[in-house]
């Protein structure tokens, strides 16, 4: 099974939770004008990435198509409840649509609280 096939496994697909939506909204605002479709944040589905419980997500395209990582759009930092720093990066695909939310807790441990809006 290819990586792309695994990414589209229907069992893993889900919509963003309210905390994730808040964080993505902050990152989109920080990135500037991205020309995203109206209401996309409520329609986009994600799949969790295998990152050891840090919370990284892959955004699934609204329309079926092949795509690749394009560029980093924005980054925010916060401190998890255990005092460890967390860096969250919004990466876009080659068409400037959200590709992934890359979450990195600097000690590589799972998040204690979950994603926070800084």
Per residue in 48-105, pLDDT (tens digit) is 999 999 999 999 988 878 899 999 999 999 999 999 999 999 999 999 999 999 999 9
Place of tokens 């419980």: 53
- What tens digit of pLDDT does each residue of 9-21 get? 556 999 999 999 9
Return d(Cα 106, Cα 66) in angstroms, integer.
31
Report pTM: 0.85
The answer to whether residue 2 scores a pLDDT higher than 70 is no
At 88 the pLDDT is 97
Place of tokens 């401190």: 79
Strand order in 14-15's β-sheet?
Answer: 14-15, 45-48, 57-59, 98-105, 85-93, 69-79
């Amino acid at each position: 099974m290819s990586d792309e096939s695994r990414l589209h496994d229907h069992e893993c697909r889900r919509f963003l939770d309210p905390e994730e939506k808040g964080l993505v909204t902050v990152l989109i605002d920080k990135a500037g004008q991205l020309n995203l479709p109206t209401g996309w944040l409520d329609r986009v589905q994600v799949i969790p990435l295998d990152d050891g419980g840090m919370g990284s997500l892959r955004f699934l395209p609204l329309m079926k198509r092949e795509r690749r990582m394009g560029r980093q759009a924005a980054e925010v930092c916060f401190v998890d409840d255990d005092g460890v720093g967390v860096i969250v990066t919004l990466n876009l695909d080659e068409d400037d649509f959200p590709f992934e939310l890359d979450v990195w807790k600097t000690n590589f441990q799972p998040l204690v609280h979950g994603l926070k809006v800084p």
